[in-house]
Structure 1
């Protein structure tokens, strides 16, 4: 549609070779209907792009208007919409009388779809002179037998009234009567929408007349009522109470769409807690009964927003929201848990925990990946509740520790992490939790979980009976020591059996006769189970050590040292203390010997061996007892306490920030966007137009813009080209400036682009003619689908002196910087480790950098790669010789990038070490690797010795 306030641009493939008006006339005169369809399309494109071509009007009336081809008729109505209807003096052209007669005939056409299409066209016609003769026909169409004609006739009448009210002064009365006589739901909806705009009082009267049956009305009409109420309440705030009651009745509609819109309208109309709770209830109902997962997530988001705007009102909904957990989609379950955790208070926490415990028990029987991930979500939710509410912590830990044998290693480690935090935060629960933890040690199956459990026991077992109980269970989990000797002894009987099998077993071959005289049945399966029972019967810690987990052996040794030192502090009897110390030494020496033997799956690593040997020395060292005791019994616990405190502080800061962002101070100024000339005001804007129009976007610095200009051709080429590269969220826009450096016109010049990588050229720049020393700008858009480095290359082609002669100028490559797509992100340690194990692409970069300090290098790396450091500040706080850190970022396309930095500072030398980058796809790992390599080269400039 073309009018004074808007315009449309249509893509024109070849701007250099346009069809002339005479050629158009010839095609319209002599062509068949198919040719005329193509010609009309070209004419429409040319008109929309600025050339009105008024000379063609009469030809189209003569040669196109009589045709009965349906596609041609549609194109004809598009033409009537955009064609010039006025002459140079601003008066109506005489030819439009013929057009008006044709429209009138179509309004009386026996085919209802042609009538309806013509009425739709009338809503776009803005000339009162043309509409005047058509009004009677439109009024007749209101009584047509077919609903398609009637629904378009209503809008046509409304549009005519808006153009000039004197053409149809009784439009509102006509529509009001039509509304009462009409039976079709779409027609009624259209009529009410028109009536609401034309005559507010009449629309209110219609709503009033239908209040008693409002719940049973058609959903389309109910939606029209809601839209009218929302608009009218802005101007008539005195009616908000009545409108609230009305919307409350509409809420009981059977249609889910109406229910959602009505609940949204209710939250806008009133701040009454009971109404907000009612709307939230409806959102919960939609989330539970609607099958579409997207709808579930949207409604849960709305509940979350309502909770932020009205804190404390929705607390009773927590159990209702958890009904959504019956959904099979993991994202929906995660959203439901996240939303519910915002509502928990001491009143409802026990009920919520009971429900989560049931869910956890229901999923413990299945071990597929989806259920394992869901179990982890449930454990995380229970963890947060137990840390926040002490009254449920003990019960929750009992449940989780009881089910630890059924959980996979990741979920079980989450449980141990959770136990660590609760034991630190609630000293009064320590004894009960530790006793439960000690009792489940035989059920643990994962070395990682063992390490966590042993650390908790070593740090928090503070009284003698508890330590002795822990020692007994740990000792039982190791089995007979020395390990090597006992394992070799266990193998000896089997060797004897093998030796004697040559003689005896051959004699015993044959069926086995039972005491009752029947034959016993033997299968290969039962034989395998009997033979393989030895490995399953081994104690759990022993089994891990034989499998080569000597890191667990080092942690076990550390725990034994802590327990021995604590007994020493508690003034335990010398006889008992010496016996336990000797046993601890025997266990540690036994682990080292096992690591050096061939019985273990793999040899002991140097780090674990050094640690265990140092623990053996510590137990034998009586001189530095006080310093050793404080470092073992106090320092590690203090470090963990500090870590918990920092995490809590960070969480509190995030909550406070969230509260501040959703709260408005009583003395905040109200900013009217139209009056904010400089855009410097700090308060929130009162409407959404600003964000849509981009007024809140920072102005780009001119120098940074110039940095993004790339030269595509040389200065001596016949045509000079340069491109400004602008990166949006999912695409790259190239603004290319072309300069003709010759004295002749370059004809049919086109710029062609191609790409390498996950890039795709969306549109091809149009062909053009460029005069001598002329300038021409073209723009092309390239879609980006991943954060891999991409290359854009291409050439410029233009015609030479002869038609078959063309010149090609090759363009320089444009490399797309992936840093625009990578943003710093955060994730938990367990998520990081899980992704690190899953991702198959790794890029290891060796570092040798002259940067002066390790922390400065880390900062450079974070700035250069847009990654966030996940390592707690205590690890990288002070400058030292070594630094190790984990970094994480996420691309706009949802791709994860992980990095592990290990570097050391040599004395008066460069920083050396390596960075390992992991990602799901190869491209991201390689691209970030290139970035890391370039950062390492910083500061390598040669010093200036002499000028």
Structure 2
């Protein structure tokens, strides 16, 4: 059990904590000062003494006349005794308190004791004494006029690394020449990492104002690059790139960043080093091109984020000199993924394919080998990655006409291993558009006919089913006859079964399906692929008709194509297919049959099949290329100096001006931020009324949204003639919100004003609600009044920003996301584009569908939208609307996200568009 002394100590600690809270809330309670001096100050308990120093920091030290209170003399004596205490913890804690004491009258008698602490046997006391002396000098220079000489002498005899580091940091703000002499007399490589970091910080600050010493500083920083400590190497490499823009210095810094990205075990360190490396690559155009292979050494890291960042940086450094080596390394990595069993192996493979795609598009010399390698792997890849490969081959075959025949031949061989209908559709489109000579057309025709199999499909399937039924019946009879025992050659008995016959039938079925992949996909229900096949056959026939004038051969091709199409339709309507063919596919296939049954002389039909689709694809590629060029120009402009930019000459600054440790880029950001003035009238839109005008307390709040939190600046008005005692505002939240700090309690006089602030942390982009009440005491202590506040809704648009992603990423996320919110549309807007613009502005989403694809005003519009929240959440939307000649706009918006809240919140924003129009 606790003794009476222990109980007293617990109560004293609790009382001191309550006193600190009360003083911090605004009530200074000056009458308690003498009581604390009498009963708390003599205590030897370390926890209570620490609370006591917190009280000395915030308690009122001056009286109403502006003079120092007499009680503070006792406090000063107690502090002086603690500075001479035999316990090093109490001395160090007291010295740390002196950093927060700013009254010269209190500090003056403490200076001798602080000087003595510089010679204390314990390093904990000495390192705090250094900062205490410097803090006293900043508060009043007359108290320690020889502080620079004192620190120089201290550095000359001190052996502890932490004490030397603290003394050097303080000396760097007081005596620049003394720091230079100290650096000159030291062996840099043998120093402690903390001192080396202090040297680097001083060099970065001093180099901007001393250009004559820059060569010496470069030698020192270059020497620190060889330090075994990673923090020192990072700071030295960062400083080296800012001190000098020469290629040698930039390459040295980049080499160290690459080593950190490869050797450091922490993924965060790897990512930071790669970010610095990207900045160097952007600032020094072409200097780091020879380091592309070194950067790719980071692909050995297990983290996918590190690999992706390394590949992205390398793609900016690829040139005609190193593209062969880069592609060879990427090929090796891609081949490793075929046998790897990593968790995110497919994502890493897709990153590699996109990188190889980038190299092949920009460099003709590697395009052929890249295409051949990817087509060999297309059967082993998953659907998403194989679709990326086919999309990449479309661009290569369009950009390089001399490679078309070779790519078509390799694609025909790869079709035998394709298992995905989506990949097959892309391959058929390539064959239909880029089989331009008679030889390629005949080769494609033979391969497609072999993949379709025997026609008519329905009759062939029925014959196979009949043969299989006969085989099964025969197997049943054989098994029935073989129920008796059979004498083997060695004289033993055995019984025959029909398992072997059944197994052989299954193997035949699998073999038949593997020989005809196109036929297997169509019979499994993929009739969209059948429609694409019909369109491809029409293209091949029409193009062959323009090239060749042989009528008999053309008639044979037409007849064979129509037989394939009609047999597909009949098979889709029969029971041989797993699912019935849809009406859209029937219409498309029969349209192709009618085109072939005609003479084929219709120029519009030939133009639509042979020219328009290719022209649309080329326009899409040109639009993507122009976007990429625009991004590069923007990046180049950001890293270039304009002719009319102001030039700052730091050499002309006065010696009295304090030299700031800041780079030019940071200086530009600061100057840009300070010149942007906030429009005060915009605050009126964000003011929320919390109470009514007839309530005893009127309250309104200005809601300011930051990146990850919301600040409520609440104005309280006492509308009564009484003083409201202990008035406090309490807030609570609903949703992914959390109240961080509680507003302080105050007394508000009659018709008085009071302002409180509270911060609310936001953890997701879901719609949140903030509610609360005001509580104050009446004339009697047991009376309290509660005023309920109106709810404050956090706008989701403050956390959603437009973003861009590729079509493949959009489709992948669309298939993965679970939550969908479908909103029907019935709007009276004048045009479809007007509704699209209203949707984009009300949801902060980005239109991913190019304007060229949307085209001119028509009666139907479909677009994909994408946005990303501040917290990394993705939101997808698909808009499908149509408009009749006289009726309203009808359709729907489908919103998908990983979480339910984001999809519902965006759905509310879409529904609000209709309410605004009605209003």
Partner of 2:260: 286
2:210 is equivalent to residue 233 of structure 1: no
Secondary structure at the counterpart of residue 287 of structure 2 = coil
**Following the alignment from structure 1 to structure 2, what is the Cα–Cα distance between the partners of residues 526 and 179?**
94
CA contact (8 A) 2:829 2:889 kept: yes
Change (3 A) 1:528 1:101: farther
Change (3 A) 1:92 1:515: farther
Partner of 2:234: 260
Secondary structure at the counterpart of residue 350 of structure 1 = helix
Partner of 1:699: 678
Q: TM-score, normalization: structure 2?
A: 0.92
Partner of 1:5: none
Q: Deviations over 1:842-861 (max 9, x none)?
A: 11111111111111111111
Secondary structure at the counterpart of residue 110 of structure 1 = coil
Partner of 2:535: 558
CA contact (8 A) 1:109 1:115 kept: yes
2:475 is equivalent to residue 497 of structure 1: no
CA contact (8 A) 1:670 1:685 kept: no
Query: Counterparts of 1:190-339 in structure 2 under 5 Å?
Result: 190-210=166-186, 213-339=187-313
Query: Counterparts of 1:776-787 in structure 2 under 5 Å?
Result: 776-787=754-765
**Following the alignment from structure 2 to structure 1, what is the Cα–Cα distance between the partners of residues 800 and 723?**
44
| Deviation at residue 650 of structure 1 after TM alignment | 1.2
| Deviation at residue 746 of structure 1 after TM alignment | 4.4
Which among 415, 419, 427 is matched to residue 445 of structure 1?
419
Q: Deviations over 1:436-456 (max 9, x none)?
A: 111111011110010111101
**Following the alignment from structure 1 to structure 2, what is the Cα–Cα distance between the partners of residues 192 and 294?**
30
Which among 661, 676, 681 is matched to residue 638 of structure 2?
661
| Deviation at residue 663 of structure 1 after TM alignment | 0.8
Change (3 A) 1:672 1:939: farther
Partner of 1:634: 611
Change (3 A) 1:515 1:907: farther
Secondary structure at the counterpart of residue 867 of structure 2 = strand
CA contact (8 A) 1:849 1:937 kept: no
2:525 is equivalent to residue 548 of structure 1: yes
Secondary structure at the counterpart of residue 459 of structure 1 = helix
**Following the alignment from structure 2 to structure 1, what is the Cα–Cα distance between the partners of residues 43 and 722?**
46
**Following the alignment from structure 2 to structure 1, what is the Cα–Cα distance between the partners of residues 600 and 372?**
42
Higher mean C-alpha deviation, range 587-596 or range 752-761: 752-761
**Following the alignment from structure 2 to structure 1, what is the Cα–Cα distance between the partners of residues 783 and 165?**
63
**Following the alignment from structure 1 to structure 2, what is the Cα–Cα distance between the partners of residues 536 and 769?**
89
Q: Deviations over 1:329-368 (max 9, x none)?
A: 1111111111111111100011000000000000012466
Partner of 1:150: 126
Partner of 2:629: 652
Higher mean C-alpha deviation, range 446-455 or range 71-80: 71-80
**Following the alignment from structure 1 to structure 2, what is the Cα–Cα distance between the partners of residues 693 and 73?**
47
2:817 is equivalent to residue 839 of structure 1: yes
2:792 is equivalent to residue 814 of structure 1: yes
**Following the alignment from structure 2 to structure 1, what is the Cα–Cα distance between the partners of residues 528 and 541?**
20
**Following the alignment from structure 2 to structure 1, what is the Cα–Cα distance between the partners of residues 501 and 673?**
74
| Deviation at residue 169 of structure 1 after TM alignment | 4.8
**Following the alignment from structure 1 to structure 2, what is the Cα–Cα distance between the partners of residues 672 and 720?**
54
CA contact (8 A) 2:777 2:784 kept: yes
2:390 is equivalent to residue 416 of structure 1: yes
Higher mean C-alpha deviation, range 99-108 or range 484-493: 99-108
Which among 589, 595, 600 is matched to residue 572 of structure 2?
595
Partner of 2:331: 357
Secondary structure at the counterpart of residue 246 of structure 1 = helix
CA contact (8 A) 1:297 1:332 kept: yes
| Deviation at residue 273 of structure 1 after TM alignment | 0.9
CA contact (8 A) 1:850 1:940 kept: no
Query: Counterparts of 1:457-856 in structure 2 under 5 Å?
Result: 457-508=431-482, 531=506, 534-535=509-510, 537-538=512-513, 539-622=516-599, 624-670=601-647, 687-688=666-667, 691=670, 695-702=674-681, 704-799=682-777, 803-856=781-834
Partner of 1:159: 135
2:906 is equivalent to residue 928 of structure 1: yes
Query: Counterparts of 1:863-882 in structure 2 under 5 Å?
Result: 863-882=841-860
Change (3 A) 1:224 1:779: closer
Higher mean C-alpha deviation, range 338-347 or range 52-61: 52-61
2:116 is equivalent to residue 140 of structure 1: yes
- Structure 2 unpaired stretches of 5+: 651-662
Secondary structure at the counterpart of residue 143 of structure 1 = coil
Q: Deviations over 1:643-685 (max 9, x none)?
A: 1111111111111111111111233235899xxxxxxxxxx98
CA contact (8 A) 1:535 1:543 kept: no
Change (3 A) 1:376 1:696: farther
2:92 is equivalent to residue 116 of structure 1: yes
CA contact (8 A) 1:788 1:923 kept: yes
Secondary structure at the counterpart of residue 624 of structure 2 = helix
CA contact (8 A) 1:135 1:167 kept: yes
CA contact (8 A) 2:482 2:497 kept: no
**Following the alignment from structure 1 to structure 2, what is the Cα–Cα distance between the partners of residues 512 and 67?**
105
**Following the alignment from structure 2 to structure 1, what is the Cα–Cα distance between the partners of residues 227 and 413?**
56
Higher mean C-alpha deviation, range 510-519 or range 190-199: 510-519
**Following the alignment from structure 1 to structure 2, what is the Cα–Cα distance between the partners of residues 386 and 907?**
48
Change (3 A) 1:277 1:630: same
Partner of 1:58: 34
CA contact (8 A) 2:867 2:876 kept: yes
Partner of 2:655: none
Change (3 A) 1:791 1:78: closer
Partner of 1:888: 866
Partner of 1:380: 354
Change (3 A) 1:543 1:510: farther
2:890 is equivalent to residue 912 of structure 1: yes
Higher mean C-alpha deviation, range 250-259 or range 123-132: 123-132
CA contact (8 A) 1:477 1:541 kept: yes
Change (3 A) 1:72 1:694: farther
Q: TM-score, normalization: structure 1?
A: 0.89
**Following the alignment from structure 2 to structure 1, what is the Cα–Cα distance between the partners of residues 618 and 850?**
13
**Following the alignment from structure 2 to structure 1, what is the Cα–Cα distance between the partners of residues 528 and 560?**
20
Secondary structure at the counterpart of residue 317 of structure 2 = coil
**Following the alignment from structure 2 to structure 1, what is the Cα–Cα distance between the partners of residues 897 and 445?**
43
Partner of 1:945: none
| Deviation at residue 261 of structure 1 after TM alignment | 0.3
CA contact (8 A) 1:671 1:686 kept: no
Partner of 1:75: 51
**Following the alignment from structure 1 to structure 2, what is the Cα–Cα distance between the partners of residues 472 and 516?**
54
**Following the alignment from structure 2 to structure 1, what is the Cα–Cα distance between the partners of residues 374 and 472?**
46
CA contact (8 A) 1:564 1:580 kept: yes
Q: Deviations over 1:707-742 (max 9, x none)?
A: 333333344444443333332222233333344444
| Deviation at residue 609 of structure 1 after TM alignment | 1.1
Secondary structure at the counterpart of residue 863 of structure 2 = strand
CA contact (8 A) 1:514 1:520 kept: no
Change (3 A) 1:513 1:612: farther
Secondary structure at the counterpart of residue 285 of structure 2 = coil
Higher mean C-alpha deviation, range 429-438 or range 607-616: 429-438
Secondary structure at the counterpart of residue 338 of structure 1 = helix
CA contact (8 A) 2:25 2:745 kept: no
**Following the alignment from structure 1 to structure 2, what is the Cα–Cα distance between the partners of residues 891 and 317?**
35
